[in-house]
Chains A and B, each alone.
Chain A
Amino acid sequence: MSIPQIEIQFIAIIVAVACAIPGAFLVLRRMAMISDAISHAILPGIVIGFFITQDVSSPFLVLMAAATGVLTVVLVEIINRTRLVKEDAAIGLVFPALFSIGVILITRFAGDVHIDTHAVLVGELAFAPFNQLIINGNPMGPKSLWVMGGILVLSLVLLGVFYKELKISTFDPQLAASLGFTPVVIHYGLMTMTSITAVGAFDAVGAILVVALMIVPPAAAYLMTQSLNRMLVLSSVIGIAAAIAGYWIAHFLNVSIGGSMAAILGFIFLLIYFFAPKRGVISVLMRRKQQKLEFSMLTFLLHLRNHSIENSNPEEREVSHLTDHFQWTSKRAKEVLEFAENNNMIRIDDGMVELTDKGYSFTDEAMQYILTDKKNELESMKGRFLLFRAE
């Protein structure tokens, strides 16, 4: 690996982690599309800042462009308050307008701005090592490494100081307000940090793909864990993995680094989406199937119980009638009956179904939980009663 290669990967890693931190909160606060709006809307700020500073990595430019991002959020909120359009439409109006202004400025003054429209979309990470920070004539590493590193440190410090406030205001805004943290301050703090990060990352991954780094790793982590701490760590790890893998794939295929990072993130998300334990699609669908069978058995047993008490209608207990009643296919009916029999809930004699004693106590308890609205207890009860769980 050459030094520029190491530098590029280093920047990519820092960008990934810096994006994952505000990103996790954006995902949890259902504000993912706001980050999309911010990342687009900072473009005119960056371009105008560039006219003034002539340096994409200038801290002044970062602050100025970040202000455009926060302005976008304010603008969306103002439009929402007029109630002239619905919220999603307000977002969808503001950021394309600002982004368009940015693109037009770039194309109009192409000679003066060293950003082309391609870089706007995907960044120019490959060129980052050429823009070195020079102190006393000595190169000190790429400027964007310093800028992004600074942003990451700022982000970590703020996260450390306001961790509790961020957490409470994300999970329970009302409680946060009653505890005296103003959710508004936290909200705009987060918006400011998101904007600053988006501007800093612009150089590396462009305005659109920065959203991939902010949203996809936390969303994937969200499927893996339910704890905020672990979600933050895991998002960072996923971001770093995508940064490194993305870089090398881009290197070998000779394609855009930013695009390749986003595509890898998509691939990682796809894997986790399907295979995450508990919250992945496969596990969810399997659990639903299990719940469906267990629930079918429960309804079946309770129906049986109601009618054995009355005992007036023996045909209510006939196997054929029961399957008719629930409008189950014969396959389904067989499944349910077998499952109930295996669990020792019923006896089948001569085509007539009867509850066992265990079946009676099971239904008794289930009924209690249903009627007292303790529906969550049903699950733990199933654990106690069922010898075999449905698969």
Chain B
Amino acid sequence: MGWIEFIQELFTDYTSRTVILGTIVLGVVSGTLGTFAVLRKQSLLGDAISHASLPGIAIVFLLIGYKDPLLFLLGAIASGVIGTLWIRGIQQNTAIKSDTALGIILTVFFGLGIVLLTYIQRLPNANQAGLDSYLFGQAATLMMKDVIIMSVLGGISLLIVLLFWKEHKLLIFDAEYAQTLGFNTRFLDILMTSLIVVAIVLGLQTVGVVLMSAMIIAPAAAARQWTNRLSVMIIIAALFGAVSGIAGTAISTSTKNMATGPVIVLAAVFIVALSFVFAPNRGLLFRYINTLKKRKNHEHTPN
């Protein structure tokens, strides 16, 4: 199936429409909450959370024996949260530095997840098909039921972002000041971290645990280059997220045997690269031209 047929099919074929809808939701939610994560300098926490969610999915499957998108999401959230709490515990109670704490949780939880996954593979349970797609993502496995769950959870997350807009902005910019104004910053911090966990977990089926962190970072990092307003940055990030989601899904579903995650990530990183170079004001090209101009001016002004 080529590109053009794919786009034609998009509007006619039920399955493709489901998949595209799902990736749009994923892109918008991860772009929006990724903006918070990137601005809070928690980019790599996303990487740890996404890897840490794998055992949760596997354990839920071992318990129930079939595939249930909602329970998988809850399992992933639970194990992502446990990972996050352990990271905080290591940071607060030991002399181990935070990046090491991230690395420990990331690899250990992922290792455990792989053990469980390979164990499940040996089970004579036919229902296990599909768990592997959580590693690198497989958009084609998205069902309407998945998309509805993603939309509801994502919609609630976005609503919370809107509702606590000014509080979130204040927390990221100046948490101590927020506290002196009387805001409960501990609550806000937990709220924001939970939203980021939800955003990551929503993308696991499509992008996979290994690469989901890039979908948190890339759209936001690209959007930052085009604007100096938080609201605009979030809108652009959501847009970039959706675009890379659609592009990645289109390419991967039109190619045989292609996991969706890597293609979506490459699309997103490609947008980042374009933004780094061509964004007005901040972009490298703009800066280069500016220094050239300055040098020229300098030559023309007599000392």
Interface residues of A, Cβ cutoff 8 Å to B: 27, 30-33, 35-36, 79, 82, 84-86, 88-89, 91-93, 96-97, 99-101, 103-104, 107-108, 110, 117-118, 121-122, 208-209, 211-212, 215-216, 219, 222-223, 250, 253-256, 258-263, 265-266, 269, 273, 279-281, 284-285
Q: Mark out the residues of chain B between 17 and 64 whose CB falls within 8 Å of any chain A CB in the assembled complex.
A: 38, 41-44, 46-47, 51
Interface size of B as a range: 35 or more
Which of B1-9, B91-99, B152-160, B166-174 faces chain A?
B91-99
| Contact for A84 among B43, B119, B225, CB less than 8 A | B225
A260-B115 in contact (CB<8A) = yes
B108-A265 in contact (CB<8A) = yes
| Contact for B263 among A31, A104, A118, A258, CB less than 8 A | A104
A376 to chain B, nearest CB (A): 17
Which of B183-191, B195-203, B209-217 faces chain A?
B209-217
A103-B262 in contact (CB<8A) = yes
- Name the B residues within 8 Å of A212 (CB-CB): 104, 107-108, 110-111
A256-B114 in contact (CB<8A) = yes
Max chain B Cβ within 10 angstroms of own Cβ: one of A30, A96, A122, A263: A96
Tell me, yes or no, whether B272 is within 8 Å of chain A by CB.
yes
| Contact for A284 among B94, B115, B224, CB less than 8 A | B94
B93-A96 in contact (CB<8A) = no
- Name the B residues within 8 Å of A279 (CB-CB): 94-95
- Name the A residues within 8 Å of B136 (CB-CB): 103, 117
Tell me, yes or no, whether B269 is within 8 Å of chain A by CB.
yes
A297 to chain B, nearest CB (A): 24
Max chain B Cβ within 10 angstroms of own Cβ: one of A82, A84, A110: A84
Residue of B nearest to A269 (CB): B104
Tell me, yes or no, whether B135 is within 8 Å of chain A by CB.
yes
Tell me, yes or no, whether B261 is within 8 Å of chain A by CB.
yes
Q: Apart from A36-B106, A93-B218, what are 17 other A-B pairs with CB-CB below 8 Å?
A: A32-B99, A36-B107, A84-B276, A85-B221, A88-B43, A89-B38, A100-B262, A100-B263, A100-B269, A104-B258, A215-B103, A223-B94, A262-B107, A265-B108, A266-B111, A273-B94, A285-B93
Tell me, yes or no, whether B301 is within 8 Å of chain A by CB.
no
- Name the B residues within 8 Å of A260 (CB-CB): 111, 115
User: How far apart sit A377 and B119, CA to CA, in the bound complex (Å)?
Assistant: 56
30 residue pairs A–B, Cβ–Cβ below 8 Å: A36-B47, A36-B107, A84-B225, A84-B282, A86-B43, A88-B44, A92-B43, A93-B221, A97-B269, A101-B262, A103-B261, A104-B266, A107-B259, A108-B255, A108-B258, A121-B114, A208-B107, A211-B107, A212-B104, A212-B108, A259-B110, A262-B112, A263-B111, A265-B107, A265-B108, A269-B108, A273-B94, A281-B89, A281-B94, A284-B93
A211-B259 in contact (CB<8A) = no
Residue of B nearest to A261 (CB): B111
Q: Mark out the residues of chain B between 242 and 292 whose CB falls within 8 Å of any chain A CB in the assembled complex.
A: 255, 257-259, 261-263, 265-266, 269, 272, 276, 282, 284
Q: Mark out the residues of chain B between 108 and 141 whose CB falls within 8 Å of any chain A CB in the assembled complex.
A: 108-119, 122, 132, 135-136
User: How far apart sit A261 and B118, CA to CA, in the bound complex (Å)?
Assistant: 13
Residue of B nearest to A218 (CB): B100
- Name the B residues within 8 Å of A208 (CB-CB): 51, 107, 110, 210
Given contacts A32-B102, A263-B115, A266-B112, contact A215 B107 (CB under 8 A): yes
Residue of A nearest to B97 (CB): A30
A255-B261 in contact (CB<8A) = no
User: How far apart sit A258 and B104, CA to CA, in the bound complex (Å)?
Assistant: 15
- Name the A residues within 8 Å of B97 (CB-CB): 27, 30, 32
Name the prevailing secondary structure of the B interface residues. helix
User: How far apart sit A84 and B269, CA to CA, in the bound complex (Å)?
Assistant: 14
A281-B93 in contact (CB<8A) = yes
User: How far apart sit A89 and B210, CA to CA, in the bound complex (Å)?
Assistant: 16
A100-B111 in contact (CB<8A) = no
Given contacts A100-B261, A121-B210, contact A86 B118 (CB under 8 A): no
- Name the A residues within 8 Å of B213 (CB-CB): 92, 96
- Name the B residues within 8 Å of A266 (CB-CB): 104, 108-109, 111-112
A86-B38 in contact (CB<8A) = yes
| Contact for A255 among B43, B115, B262, CB less than 8 A | B115
A265-B111 in contact (CB<8A) = yes
Given contacts A99-B262, A211-B107, A215-B104, contact A33 B99 (CB under 8 A): yes
Residue of A nearest to B45 (CB): A88
- Name the A residues within 8 Å of B78 (CB-CB): none
B44-A100 in contact (CB<8A) = no
A82 to chain B, nearest CB (A): 6
A129 to chain B, nearest CB (A): 19
Given contacts A33-B99, A281-B93, contact A255 B118 (CB under 8 A): yes
A115 to chain B, nearest CB (A): 14
Tell me, yes or no, whether B178 is within 8 Å of chain A by CB.
no
User: How far apart sit A110 and B41, CA to CA, in the bound complex (Å)?
Assistant: 38
The 4 tightest CB contacts between A and B, nearest first, are: A262-B111, A266-B108, A259-B114, A96-B214
Tell me, yes or no, whether B90 is within 8 Å of chain A by CB.
yes
- Name the B residues within 8 Å of A284 (CB-CB): 93-94
Given contacts A92-B217, A100-B263, A212-B111, contact A107 B104 (CB under 8 A): no
B7 to chain A, nearest CB (A): 21
Residue of B nearest to A104 (CB): B262
B102-A103 in contact (CB<8A) = no
User: How far apart sit A266 and B104, CA to CA, in the bound complex (Å)?
Assistant: 8
- Name the A residues within 8 Å of B38 (CB-CB): 85-86, 89
B276-A92 in contact (CB<8A) = no
User: How far apart sit A89 and B191, CA to CA, in the bound complex (Å)?
Assistant: 22
User: How far apart sit A261 and B217, CA to CA, in the bound complex (Å)?
Assistant: 30
B47-A107 in contact (CB<8A) = no
